[in-house]
Copies of this chain bind each other. A is one copy, B any other.
Amino acid sequence: MKIAIAGAGAMGSRFGVMLSRAGNQVILIDQWAAHVQAINEKGLTVDTETGSSQVKLPAYLPADVQEKPELVILFTKSMGLANMLAAIEPILGETTKIVCLLNGLGHVPTLEKYVRKENIFMGVTLWTAGLVGPGHVKLVGNGRVEVQNIDPAGETAAKEICDLFSQAGLNAVYSENVIFSIWRKACVNGTLNTLCTLLDCNIGEFGQLPQAASLLRQIIAEFALVAKATDQVTLTIEPVAQQIEALYDPKQAGLHYPSMYQDLILHHRLTEIDYLNGYVAKKAAELNLATPICQLLTELIHAKEALLVK
């Protein structure tokens, strides 16, 4: 199948490499010029547990793509989604399917501006990947991905996408409720990413704090309030909190600094806060619900952005 990876950072590169090795025609699309150039000149350098290799894949800046893919896998940062879609609109045909695997909340309305609902598929992945530098990724560990259509008419196609992914070793399952899974993952990011960034600590250090249990549950409660009101999704606080607490173990994510920490504190880049706690606070305001914790955390992260991002 002809597949475009739109947003070919670490995770997009992982999906591109694995789908390409399974026999698909994959192109990478990314807005980072040095990355695109490096991939085209030397191939994508892929480090794994067993060694390093070069993978030849065509790479393009968003405005330069001509080829029309059958499937587009979106893996941009949340704040890059709308720009990416606008740039690649010319290659999106009537039957082009879109799988959106971004973190964060609130992406469906953005997708619907560019793609018919029956061609939109939402997913959540537990794969990980690291970007070493331009044209260079590190792919270790194992993962899985779940995908679901957002329009009832898309169920067969969603299952075919799962088959395509699984044939490439991506361990895909058809989700009966991907919107729930997206909210549940947003709870992970809306707690650990946000709080580790504000408190300047890693996930394990956060987990040791006497305040951790209460902070987690207060935030999840606000996510649950808005998940129910906007998407009729029921998030039960305690199991979601305990799933997050399992990550404190150093053998899980305990030694890890979340992506928001890396973006803002290490690299002085803008964060995805508006698609996590900020989305919850904004939707709550529209619905006249109170989410003061998410509101304040969003303002504090934006304040830190104003201090740190040039």
Contacts and interface: CB of A to CB of B under 8 A. Distances in A.
Interface of A: 195, 198-201, 205, 208-212, 214-215, 218, 290, 292-293, 296-297, 299-300, 302-304, 306-307
B199 A307 contact: yes
A280 to B, nearest CB: 14
Given A200-B200, A209-B307, 10 more contacts: A195-B303, A199-B303, A200-B307, A201-B307, A209-B306, A210-B303, A211-B299, A211-B303, A290-B292, A292-B292
Contacts of A297: 296
Contact of A296 (B296, B303, B307): B296
A184 B205 CA distance: 36
Contacts of A211: 299-300, 302-303, 306
Contacts of A307: 199-201, 205, 209
A299 B297 CA distance: 12
Contact of A299 (B214, B290, B292, B306): B214
A248 to B, nearest CB: 14
The 8 closest A-B pairs by CB, nearest first: A292-B292, A211-B303, A211-B299, A209-B303, A209-B306, A199-B303, A201-B307, A296-B296
A215 B297 CA distance: 11
A272 B13 CA distance: 49
Contact of A198 (B198, B201, B212, B290): B198
A308 to B, nearest CB: 9
A235 B296 CA distance: 22
Contacts of A200: 200, 304, 307
A218 B297 CA distance: 13
Contacts of A209: 303, 306-307
A209 B307 CA distance: 8
Given A292-B292, A293-B296, A304 B215 contact: no
A307 B203 CA distance: 12
Contact of A292 (B198, B293, B304): B293
A162 to B, nearest CB: 41
A206 B264 CA distance: 17
A214 to B, nearest CB: 7
Contacts of A306: 208-211
A119 to B, nearest CB: 38
A198 B300 contact: yes
23 contacts: A195-B303, A198-B198, A198-B300, A199-B300, A200-B200, A200-B304, A208-B306, A209-B303, A209-B306, A210-B302, A210-B303, A210-B306, A211-B299, A211-B302, A211-B306, A212-B303, A214-B299, A215-B299, A215-B303, A218-B296, A290-B292, A292-B292, A292-B293
Nearest to A218: B296
Contacts of A292: 290, 292-293, 296
Contacts of A205: 307
A293 B292 CA distance: 7
